[in-house]
Amino acid sequence: MQVKGQSSAADRMEVNQAKQEHLLALKVMRLTKPTLFTNMPVTCEDRDLPGDLFVRLMKDDPSTVKGAETLILGEMLTLPQNFGNIFLGETFSSYISVHNDSSQVVKDILVKADLQTSSQRLNLSASNSAVSELKPECCIDDVIHHEVKEIGTHILVCAVSYTTQTGEKLYFRKFFKFQVLKPLDVKTKFYNAESDLSSVTDEVFLEAQIQNITTSPMFMEKVSLEPSMMYNVTELNSVSSDDESESTFGKMSYLQPLDTRQYLYCLKPKPEFAEKAGVIKGVTVIGKLDIVWKTNLGERGRLQTSQLQRMAPGYGDVRLSLELIPDTVSLEEPFDITCKITNCSERTMDLELEMCNTRSVHWCGVSGRQLGKLSPNASLSIPLKLLSSVQGLQSISGLRLTDTFLKRTYEYDDIAQVCVVCPYTSPES
């Protein structure tokens, strides 16, 4: 039974260690680039009471630019006065110094720096070996770097252990807490090349909206899309003229605070995947965005999004697409198209093709012909001939595919559109 007022040996040890005056001093400073010094120029007209007093004072001010004293930015640099903000994707750098404030030599000094995040603990020390001795008024310096990859609370833990001349081993540590903020707000949207599933292509358009949610402007050095192994990507963020490519955002790609910019990309499946109808189904991985920017005085930041995913459009059991179709045709003159039929199911189909005339489009050929058996993921190209009896923009409709095994019919209307013109009409009329 413990008497009230007594303390255990562990408690006394902690109290003695807290009262222990350490021989070493630990200093930690974040390394950031300075900012340009700004001043507030004060001017007046010559006929005012001060006369040219303000002009002479600004000319004598060492912080102003000679010949441009009224410019707000000066020639001097200002060191950071506080810890500042740290954003995701930037490199956190810190200077750690251990100084011997005592008058005796300290031995076996070990300095360790760890960064504690919400999910892991990282060792940032350049060396894990101890320094044999540290003389009075001498110091041990170290610079650590870390690319910040998580947002939220981060704690820099600096621990120092050493041995005194009497052989006593001492240990202390300090904690430095800081927040990592999100610099950009990234939103993505996917668009299919066509909205009609009967004529949809495998092309995918990705729109990436990037907003600067910091308080300072950014120079967008690179915004690219790294596609997955199934796709090839084409950037649509430049305009070509006279064999030169110019960015749609201009030569100076700055993004002001709270400004938003849209980037557009076109993705096409690689040939080896496009030929297999069953490969691109359900949720597919498109790729990831790689964003690189620079802030004041060239401080660099980089972000990579997670893998972007989209739900591939459903084609049903049978997909019908057009491989060849003219843009403009003549009135009441036959023209050729080429249809591609793909079996998207997991069973073999025995298909029959039926062609139904509409008010403006008439099919040429035999309707109700057998196409034969089509294996899963296999494709079949069929040339067809038709004509239009009405001028203007006409929709091609009336194709029917019947699976003779299940007696199931698939209807395809509004497959595409063609412009029908009268070849006998002169331009003057």
The conformation of residue 298, written as its DSSP 8-state character, comes to G
pLDDT at 170: 92
For the chain, what is the largest distance between any 2 Cα atoms, rounded to a whole number of angstroms? 117
Q: Are 352 and 314 in contact (CB under 8 A)?
A: no
pLDDT at 13: 38
**Pick from 349, 345, 347: nearest CA to 371:** 349
A 10 A CB-CB count for 117 gives: 17
Place of tokens 């009967």: 198
With b for 16 or more beta-carbon neighbours within 10 A and e for fewer, the 21-54 pattern comes to: ebbbebeeebebeebeeebeeeeeeeeeeeeeeb
pLDDT at 294 over 60: yes
pLDDT at 10 over 50: no
Here the tokens at position 137 are 């008024």
SS3 assignment for 232-255:
EEEECCEEEECCEEEECCCCCCEE
> 389: which residues sit within 8 A by CB, 6+ positions away?
331, 332, 360, 361, 362
**What are the structural domains, with CATH classification, of the chain?**
20-182 (2.60.40.10), 184-238+251-311 (2.60.40.10), 318-421 (2.60.40.10)
Region 358-377 average pLDDT: 89
> 82: which residues sit within 8 A by CB, 6+ positions away?
none
pLDDT at 253: 83
pLDDT at 196: 42
Do you know the residue count of the chain?
429
Phi, psi of 298 (to 5 degrees): 80, 15
> What is the torsional sign of CA 77, 82, 88, 91?
positive
**Residue bearing the bigger pLDDT, 145 or 32:** 145
pLDDT at 3: 36
pLDDT at 429: 46
Region 167-195 average pLDDT: 88
Secondary structure of the chain: what % helix, strand, coil (to 5)? 5, 50, 40
pLDDT at 18 over 90: no
Of 156-160, 201-205, 382-386, 388-392, least confident by mean pLDDT is: 201-205
pLDDT at 311 over 90: no
Q: Rounded mean pLDDT of the chain?
A: 83
- Please report which confidence band the pLDDT of residue 407 belongs to, taking 50, 70 and 90 as the band edges: confident
Place of tokens 């591939």: 312
pLDDT at 315: 63
The pLDDT tens digits of the residues spanning 222-266 come to 999 999 888 899 999 888 777 777 888 887 788 999 999 999 999
Q: How far apart are alpha carbons 171 and 110 in whole angstroms? A: 9
